[in-house]
Amino acid sequence: MRYQQLTEGRRYQISILLEEGFYANEIAKKVKCHRSTVYRELNRHKVKEAYCPDSAHLMAMGKRKAAQKYRIPQKRIRFIRILLQADWSPEQISVVLTSVEQPVSHEWIYRYIAQDKRGGGKLYQHLRQGYKRYRRGRKDKGPAILNATPIDERPEIVEGRTRLGDWEIDTVLGKQGTGALVTVLERKTRFYLVKKAASKSAEDVAQATIELLAPYKNHVHTITADNGREFAAHELISATLKTGFYFAHPYCSWERGANENANGLLRQYIKKGTDLREVSDTDVDFAMSRINYRPRKCLSFKQPAVVFKETTEAA
């Protein structure tokens, strides 16, 4: 579902549904917008823990008007270009400039890079992902996965990352026809597991997933995947591990963004296009260990493996 700014009418709908006791994800379905839009609306426009649609709309219009007036000075833009060419990420640039009272959002920087690219510029080449965008394909739409449970039905507690045992899953492919890596990540602790699979087939992926998570079976409550056909055997995984298996919305990679990010770190050790037949289990274990013992900002610079161990022992 594409992002849409809320109208005044939708804000009144949100207010009424809140009074009737609906949760944010339920409100999103009824108002027909993404649940993140509802969460942002409530976080930004509540006054003394109360939501008033009139006040919310006035605040939103005021922010939009102020944003239209604000322009990034050319001197700051030149500095941003220098930092991008030094391979700084938009988030890093945003944090540093804001700390010296020259605020600019990382979203603005991404938009600037996109504009530069359309004009023939090369700033995008300095981004880690090369400014790749997820686009809907016309020819790659496979048949729907049978009995798939959508992420909308996933327990709401998973969203807050307060509980141990909610995992995200994905596959990382090697050079054409050389197998796949199955990766799973625990959302609360960012603990990351990787295992080679003989192929991207649903059966091989299911077997690798079960072997990965079997040692942690008591700490597996949910698994969230994308809509790739390699997860067609989700019912086997769910039954074996006694867990709920959920599917994110198509082309919404941010709904399992922690796993996507960890897969990016994995590419530091196992490059894209690698022939996985030449990658040993020792190589995989080494990469997994490096990632799990790397301090993470989201964990207050603690190591995922240490946090996972402490959390499981306390459970």
Q: What is the pLDDT of residues 194-251, one digit of tens each?
A: 999 989 999 999 999 999 999 999 999 999 999 999 999 999 999 999 999 999 998 8
| SS3 sequence of the chain | CCCCCCCHHHHHHHHHHHHCCCCHHHHHHHHCCCHHHHHHHHHHHEECCEECHHHHHHHHHHHHHHHHHCCCCHHHHHHHHHHHHCCCCHHHHHHHHHHCCCCCCHHHHHHHHHHHHHCCCCHHHHCCCCCCCCCCCCCCCCCCCCCCCEHHHCCHHHHHCCCCCEEEEEEEECCCCCCEEEEEEECCCCCEEEEEECCCCHHHHHHHHHHHHHHHHHHCCEEEECCCHHHCCHHHHHHHHCCEEEECCCCCHHHHHHHHHHHHHHCCCCCCCCCHHHCCHHHHHHHHHHHHCCCEHHHCCECHHHHHHHHHHHC
Q: What is the pLDDT of residues 248-276, one digit of tens each?
A: 998 888 899 999 999 999 999 999 889 99
Nearest-angstrom CA–CA distance, 238 and 254: 23
pLDDT tens per residue, range 102-131? 888 888 899 899 888 888 888 988 887 655
pLDDT digits (tens, 9 = 90+) for 138-165: 444 444 689 999 999 999 999 999 999 9
Q: What is the mean pLDDT of the chain?
A: 87
User: According to the model, what pLDDT value does residue 136 have?
Assistant: 41
**Residue 47 in this model has a pLDDT that exceeds 80:** no
Check residue 131 and give its pLDDT. Answer: 53
Which residue is listed with tokens 């700390």? 99
The β-bridge partners of 168 are: 185, 224
Return the percentage of the chain with pLDDT > 70, whole number. Answer: 91
pLDDT of residue 67: 57
Residue 140 has a pLDDT of 42
Q: Residue 217 is encoded by which pair of tokens?
A: 């079976």
Instruction: Tell if the pTM clears 0.85, that is, is over it.
Output: no
